[in-house]
Amino acid sequence: MADDGMILNFQFGSAPLKPQATKFTGGRWRDRKRAEKSAKLAGSQSKTPRDEGDAEASERAPKRYKTNDNGEFSGWKPGNQSQGNLGPRKSSANDNAGGRSSQRGGQSDGPKGSRQVISRLFSFNPEQKTAVEKEESEWEAPEATNAPLSDVANFGTLALASRLVDELSKMNLERPTAIQNKVIPHLISSSGDAFVQAETGSGKTFSYLLPILHRVLQLSGKGDGKQIHRDSGLFAIIVAPTRELARQTHSVLEQLIRPFPWLVSTSITGGESKKAEKARIRKGVNFLVATPGRLADHIDNTKALNLGTVRWLILDEGDRLMDLGFEEDLKKAINALKRIIVAEKTTNGTLLDSLPDRRVTVLCSATMKMNVQKLGEMSLADATFLAAEKDAEQTAPSDQAVLKAPAQLHQSYIIAPAKLRLVTLISYLKLAFSRRGRTMKAIVFHSCADSVDFHYELLKDPTKKDLPDTSAKEAEVLSRTVSKAAYITSPASPEVVLHRMHGSLSQPVRTATIKSFVASKLPSVLITTDVSSRGLDIPSVDLVIEYDPAFSFSDHIHRVGRTARAGRHGDAALFLLPGTEEGYIELLKTSAPPTAQSCESVLEKGLLSKLEFPVETTAKPEDGNTYHDKAETLQLHIEQRLLGDPKQLELARNGFKSHIRAYATHTKEERVHFDISELHLGHVAKSFGLRDPPGGIGAGIERKAKKKGVKGAKGAKGKSTTDEEEDPARPGRDLFKQKSMYLMKATADEFNIG
């Protein structure tokens, strides 16, 4: 802890300060020297707006940042600012703002007469290069592309069993979507394999479940399938990449077969009791929803699992199945099914005549990648390609079609300098929930579990314990993943519920957390990793924030696809850093022209309404008048909070380290936009509420650099990671690049990305 801001948290008495006389004790020599220098300079340097006190600074700031008639910020034009003009002043000799707070001289907004510390956020930020092509207000929603078709009367026109059509109607599903309109008739009439490709939220699940059920229901010849029961055999296996998705698909299936109690389905997923699953399989099931690993396990070890009657193998979210490394498990299942070439024609005396006469494999994916093609080669034979293109007849898988989000999904980006990221995120969420009725559920994607944990703990309100509508038992399970939020509430939205979710949580906790998020009647945020990016169907999600950009563009499409489902509207906002990350905007345009949101405008609108801090620090919510002041006060408060709480500080450090490691795992093709050598570690540390990057992240690199004979690795450490004033042309920069390359290599090894 001593490293983090030791020089910054000295409390000064009310007597006028003589900086020259200030004596610092304790801590490291380097830090003491720096503190002495800062204190000295604070008293002697020419005064800047900040140094002259907030009253004056506040008056000046608005002159630089004009607002238009709507009160919107209009002074900051992308592309025309230079380093330092993002703040009310340019550098001064004592501005050590590189991620470090600095002492504020003279009068302050803090306790009367005390010397306050401020956290400089608006100076020395890298320049934004991208000129705004389309602002948020210019966006007009095009016609939805994944909505039910208006020119098809109802599901009945697809020749589905009337009982099924009635069931759909009870679920308020009247007309099919484009992909359902294509896939359902095909799977009803054909015994051929199919590759199904359609946008996120277009109803792919019903597109394969409905025809399967229809054909099984035909088995009795009367359309109700009453001769079939749980012992009649297993007819379909549906494989999903994650436990959540498997469970979700199983619950949709359960809903559909509820009126047909003689049909039985079950799910087998990792994290559950294998013994109980075996017992269910032994009792007999007609439909099995599985994760690949658990399926392979049962194929090997559960004798009661008879694959002889299986007619359908559905591989849902094909690209994700491959991404997650399930190739071997999938091979096992595919080969096991292939070995039984002629499937059983009867079951318990019932002729299986309405079922396909061969095994049908259906591969579904919203995106098309090389690995999906590979899975296709492994599993499909003479497959028909079925895409949801409404107008043009698409006959083959296409890279273009796949990487599109639903047209009605409003995609935007915010170019936020690293130092401003945390306060911008808070401000954005505060603003989003304060627009009553506009946002009820939001998902915030982070790159790693440690970052999720840090942000969750930071944003939760430690003073509020009770959760609404929760039994004591549920509350116990949810105690570490659901809580009331602080900071992002507002008078218009005084209660917001926070949820956290990632793959390191136990399965019961994951399941309960998602259930709680779905059921929440209060505005809610889910802070999560990519574990929630695939297939998760929560219709009421209206906002997706990609706080950390996705590791691949197809992941981005899946993440944003958690909103704007089945024709509904939705917003998605992507945080980018100024610099090379801006190149990613071109990639966004291949899906839909995104609009730009100004980071400063978000701060102004979000932070100038009432701020509340859940924990008392010397920085107070009422400190400052301009949004610059408010942002710096909020940042300072967070930094102070961490310094007073070792547990949170540890979470911040772990979050920072994992975030940096994760940064190196963007796909090879997209790494050009996510150049780790461009990251200013000091600024990134700020976004975790830290005043310096924690040790360790660079230490390994240094050791490696030393081993390889990179001169000066040690000497450059401080400069390269924390100092704002660093001149890009200086040798230290090259060294930083070199170190970053080692870092990238080390982290790439760790994440197995070669």
Question: What is the binding site for ligand ATP (CB under 6 A)?
Answer: 148, 173, 175-177, 180, 198, 200-206, 366, 535, 537, 539, 561, 565-566
The identity of residue 123, as a single letter, is S
Quick count: other Cβ atoms within 10 Å of Cβ 221?
13
Of the two residues 175 and 390, which places its CB atom closer to ligand ATP in the complex? Answer: 175
Q: What are phi and psi of 301, to 5 degrees?
A: -120, -5
What minimum distance in Å lies between the beta carbon of 184 and ligand ATP?
Answer: 10
Of the two residues 562 and 680, which places its CB atom closer to ligand ATP in the complex? Answer: 562
Cα angle value 11/13/16 (rounded, 5°)? 125
What minimum distance in Å lies between the beta carbon of 529 and ligand ATP?
Answer: 17
What minimum distance in Å lies between the beta carbon of 316 and ligand ATP?
Answer: 7
What minimum distance in Å lies between the beta carbon of 157 and ligand ATP?
Answer: 12
Nearest residue to ligand ATP on Cβ basis: 203
Of the two residues 240 and 716, which places its CB atom closer to ligand ATP in the complex? Answer: 240
Of the two residues 151 and 466, which places its CB atom closer to ligand ATP in the complex? Answer: 151
What minimum distance in Å lies between the beta carbon of 197 and ligand ATP?
Answer: 10
What minimum distance in Å lies between the beta carbon of 623 and ligand ATP?
Answer: 44
What minimum distance in Å lies between the beta carbon of 512 and ligand ATP?
Answer: 21
Q: Can you tell me the distance from the alpha carbon of 10 to that of 116, in angstroms, rounded to the nearest whole number? A: 9
Of the two residues 48 and 408, which places its CB atom closer to ligand ATP in the complex? Answer: 408
What minimum distance in Å lies between the beta carbon of 180 and ligand ATP?
Answer: 6
Q: Can you tell me the distance from the alpha carbon of 511 to that of 507, in angstroms, rounded to the nearest whole number? A: 6
What minimum distance in Å lies between the beta carbon of 566 and ligand ATP?
Answer: 3
Q: Which H helix or E strand runs over 444?
A: strand 441-445
Contacts of 416 (CB under 8 A, 6+ apart): 424, 575, 576, 577, 599
Q: Can you tell me the distance from the alpha carbon of 115 to that of 624, in angstroms, rounded to the nearest whole number? A: 15
Of the two residues 203 and 570, which places its CB atom closer to ligand ATP in the complex? Answer: 203
Of the two residues 441 and 628, which places its CB atom closer to ligand ATP in the complex? Answer: 441
Nearest to residue 719, comparing CAs of 703, 743, 735?
A: 735
Beta bridge partners of 363: 195, 315
Of the two residues 146 and 361, which places its CB atom closer to ligand ATP in the complex? Answer: 146
Of the two residues 414 and 518, which places its CB atom closer to ligand ATP in the complex? Answer: 518
Please, what's the largest Cα pairwise distance for the chain? 99
Contacts of 109 (CB under 8 A, 6+ apart): 54, 116, 620, 622, 623, 624, 629, 633
Angle between helices 507-519 and 243-257 (to 10 degrees): 60
Q: Can you tell me the distance from the alpha carbon of 211 to that of 162, in angstroms, rounded to the nearest whole number? A: 12
Q: Yes or no: say if 216 and 286 are a contact pair by the CB < 8 Å rule.
A: yes
DSSP letter for each residue of 587-639: HHHHHS--EEE-HHHHHHHHHSSPP--SS--SS-TT--SSHHHHHHHHHHHHH
